[in-house]
Amino acid sequence: MKKTTVLFGVLLFLAAPALSGHGAEPKKAEPLMQRKLKHAQKVLEGLAINDFDKIGDNAEELLALSKLNEWKVVKTPRYATYSNEFQENVAKLIKNAKDKNLDGATLAYLEMTSSCVKCHKHVREVKMVRGDEE
């Protein structure tokens, strides 16, 4: 009898985490910028450890994110140029990952990052002029 009680207690203890989530609020979607940063960091990690699958997979995710409506923060010609530049650099990153060209992938990553910085600067300037909140 004592073994059954102990076993039941152990099973209940192990099942508690699964049961505690029952009826909980669903997780909110991660903001686009957080997803973008997560994948960009994983690309950098892939570059650092010479993992072309990690580079390519996360670059593919970045490209997919850049095609979402949520991506289009402002509608200006310069924003469109920066967004296209980002996509072209990510496409180069994907190609270099497939070709296992670490130097080419590294250069594409740097160019991609540069396009991000220029675009974010532009978006901040547009929002300041419009008086939008960040």
Sequence-ordered alpha helix ranges (H) in 21-51: 32-49
Question: 37 is in which domain, residue-wise?
Answer: 32-130
Which residue matches tokens 């686009």? 32
Q: How confident is the model at residue 49 (pLDDT cuts 50, 70, 90)?
A: very high
Q: Is residue 11 part of a domain?
A: no
Residue 60 DSSP class: H
Q: How confident is the model at residue 10 (pLDDT cuts 50, 70, 90)?
A: very low
Q: How confident is the model at residue 130 (pLDDT cuts 50, 70, 90)?
A: confident
Q: What is the pLDDT of residues 90-115, one digit of tens each?
A: 999 999 999 999 999 999 999 999 99
The predicted pLDDT at position 16 comes to 45
Q: Is residue 91 part of a domain?
A: yes
Distances, alpha carbon 14 to alpha carbons 23, 47, 96, in Å: 18, 39, 46
Q: Is residue 70 part of a domain?
A: yes
C-beta separation of 47 from 102 below 8 A = yes
Q: Is residue 103 part of a domain?
A: yes
Q: Is residue 24 part of a domain?
A: no
Q: Is residue 50 part of a domain?
A: yes
Q: Is residue 12 part of a domain?
A: no
Mean pLDDT of all residues in 28-54: 94
How many structural domains are present in the chain?
Answer: 1
When the pLDDT of each residue in the chain is averaged and rounded to a whole number, the result is 84
The predicted pLDDT at position 127 comes to 83
Where residue 92 sits, what CATH number does that domain have? 1.20.120.290
Whether the model pTM is above 0.85: no
Helix (H) or strand (E) holding 128: helix 102-130
Q: Is residue 115 part of a domain?
A: yes
